[in-house]
Structure 1
Amino acid sequence: MPHRNAPLTETGRLRLARCVVEDGWPLRRAAERFQVSPTTAQRWATRYRATGEAGMSDRSSRPHHSPRRTATRTERRIIKVRVLRRWGPARIAHLLNLAPSTVHRVLTRFGLARLKHLDRATGRVIRRYEHDRPGELVHVDIKKLGNIPDGGGHKVLGRPAGRRTRSGVGYQYIHTAVDDHSRLAYSEILTDEKKETATAFWQRAHAYFTGVGITVERVLTDNGACYKSHTWRDTLAAAGIAHKRTRPYRPQTNGKVERLNRTLLDEWAYARPYRSEQERRDAFPAWLHTYNHHRGHTALAGKPPATRVPNLTGQYT
């Protein structure tokens, strides 16, 4: 495909070449007629004589010889280090005494996946998935987060003063359930992660999803003690919900809720310096509403989860 400023399309090149080769036009006359230089007219006429109409298409601009290209042996060393150690361009460059840009160019040339797309334990490309309908799978997890002492922590007081106030403030446990298809989230800040607490949270989360028209079919959790309890198992079974647990040491299997945990840390928990734990907790409901109704999600083409849940407002009952 010729660029937008090219004076000749493939059809124009063919007409020019035929004027010179078949009709006997002088190069200068043909160049003036088609508003190109005589050198250009000669190039297309020569190609037409050699290969006919097929020669009028664009050819690759890649050079036939690249004397400054990275040596094949060096490329193999770069790939070997990447595969065996799973290092980024900067670390590989330091080890092999190369420029990071050179290493990055080699990795890109051979189509090696970015590190964030690989499983850290096995080095295999993570297979990403999304279920077809809301409720087909709901991810559940707990995030442990240290409380903020009254008066603020180190972000407000500075690190020396923050160290003196942080002892004995305890922890909060953020229980979260995320629908796989829509990314709709239900979350609560609770005092512990015991089986009774986790089970009661799920009952409220299940009621929330049911209220917006989502029928939960399966729940995916990690192997935490509360999720392996008989209380949790019996509660799901009574509602006709299947329970699935991730493989040990494979948190990426529950990646959608893990990603939400990171998002809430960045955009709520550590988004600004709070002066008390209560101040931070008071800000959580508004943030969660924004996440569900207004915040664009990259996996949803920049739209919020609410766009995939038709009855989120509860108007269709």
Structure 2
Amino acid sequence: MSHRNAPLTPTGRLRLARCVVDEGWPLRRAAERFQVSHTTAARWAGRYRQLGPAGMLDRSSRPHHSPRQTPTPVEQQVVRLRREHRIGPVRLAARCGIAASTAHRILLRHGLPALATLDRATGEPVRRYERARPGELVHIDVKKLGRIPDGGGHKVLGRAAGRTNQDRRNGTGYAYLHTALDDHTRLAYTEDLPDEKAATCAGFLTRAAAWFAAHGITIERVLTDNAWAYTKNTWRQTCHDLGISPRWTKPWRPQTNGKVERFHRTLLDEWAYHRPYTSDRERQAAFPDWLDWYNYHRPHTGIGGHPPATRVTNLPEQHT
């Protein structure tokens, strides 16, 4: 098998073999000329006599026979359990009485992909898509987030003291983070609103459409789940007034709206829970800077490591 320090490539092997077979060089002279051992020169010359130039190519190192390979019934059991229960090598190994590494090799041998690439509900490969232009589809969703009482919650005070602090204030309620995220660019617009009622969602859509328009993006379609607010006439009428076509995910299929779901997970990891906050006002004050960083500076792995703003065409007053 060729590697970076190999003295012979397939082309070099052919030259060596022709010197020995066609031109009659002694093996030792050819070995010295091409800086390989006598046995190596003999091997390539023999393959050339037998197979011609095709014999100079690399061969698989896989053995012709594997007497200790896992028995076929065990392999069939591993494959069946994987397809029926969608479990990984460790749990398959426990059920079948084999090593986890063996279960992993069986899955590879039968062409079964990693669980991370499958839809856990159906077991089918995840079908990923991306719209061709900005504004063609905007994902909308709401993330419910507990507010922080003044003085801090459990991350600052500990579980017991944090619970006492919250109870003393009769609870602090929830923040409803409404997000609109463009499918093509991943540019995001988020507002902290007091609820997720139909009128609130409709007002958010109006402001989101204006924000995207200021960035040179005209929203053509919006995709939401089947929450109550998005099925009311208020939402439909607002979409109609804005010239937007509403779309809804299939019931029990949040993966369809996965881009905004993933944004909310990033939002929690990198802003909401990134550090302890002593009040909800302190956390909210940090949000505009984080969203600006996300849109204009943060490398996004879903779009080749570039910030979302780099995919916006004709962005007025490019952000620096």
TM > 0.5? yes
Query: 1:207 Cα deviation (Å)?
Result: 0.1
Distance 2:188 2:219 in 1: 13
Aligned to 1:293: 296
Task: State the partner residue of 2:100.
Answer: 100
1:146 is matched by which residue type in structure 2?
G
Identity %: 64
* Counterparts of 2:90 and 2:273, CA distance in 1: 29
CA contact (8 A) 1:173 1:192 kept: yes
Partners of 2:159 and 2:98 lie apart in 1 by 39
1:66 corresponds to: 66
* Structure 2 letter corresponding to 1:152: G
Q: Which residue of 2 aligns with 1:258?
A: 261
Which residue of 1 is the match for residue 192 of structure 2? Answer: 189
User: Does 1:87 find its partner at 2:123?
Assistant: no
Structure 1 residues 198 and 314 mapped into 2: Cα distance closer, same or farther (>3 Å)? farther
Looking at structure 2, the residues matched to 138 and 92 of structure 1 have their Cα atoms a distance apart, in angstroms, of 40
Query: For the Cα contact (< 8 Å) 2:216–2:316, is it kept in 1?
Result: no
**1:19 Cα deviation from its structure 2 partner:** 2.2
What is the aligned partner in structure 1 of residue 18 from structure 2?
18
Aligned pair partner of 2:275 in 242, 247, 272: 272
Contact 1:211 1:314 in 2 (8 A): no
Given residue 74 of structure 1, which amino acid in structure 2 is its aligned partner?
V
Quote the offset at 1:115 in angstroms: 2.0
- Aligned positions of 1:35-50 closer than 5 A: 35-50=35-50
Say how many residue pairs are matched. 316
Q: What amino acid does structure 2 have at the position aligned with 1:79?
A: V
Take 1:111 and 1:275, find their aligned partners in 2: how far apart are those partners? 51
Whole-angstrom distance in 1 between the partners of 2:217 and 2:71 = 57
- TM-score, normalised to structure 1, is 0.95
Q: 8 Å contact 2:221–2:247 — kept in the other structure?
A: yes
After superposition, give the CA deviation of every residue in 1:176-207 in whole Å (9 maximum; x if it has no partner): 00000000000011110011111111110000
Partner of 2:118: 118
The CA deviation at 1:68 is 3.2
8 A contact 2:212–2:218 mirrored in 1: yes
Aligned twin of 1:226:
229
Q: Which moved more, 1:123-132 or 1:23-32?
A: 23-32
Checking the alignment, whether the CA contact within 8 Å between 1:89 and 1:101 is kept in structure 2 is yes
Partners in 1 of 2:157 and 2:98 — Cα distance?
44
Tell whether the 8 Å contact from 2:294 to 2:307 is kept in structure 1 after alignment: yes
Q: 2:182 aligns with which of 176, 179, 183?
A: 179
The alignment partner of 2:41 has SS state of helix
Unpaired segments of 5 or more residues in structure 1? none
**Per-residue CA distance 1:282-304 (angstroms, 9 max, x = gap):** 11111111110011111111001
Could you tell me how far apart the structure 1 residues matched to 2:60 and 2:264 are? 47
Residue identity matched to 2:266 = T
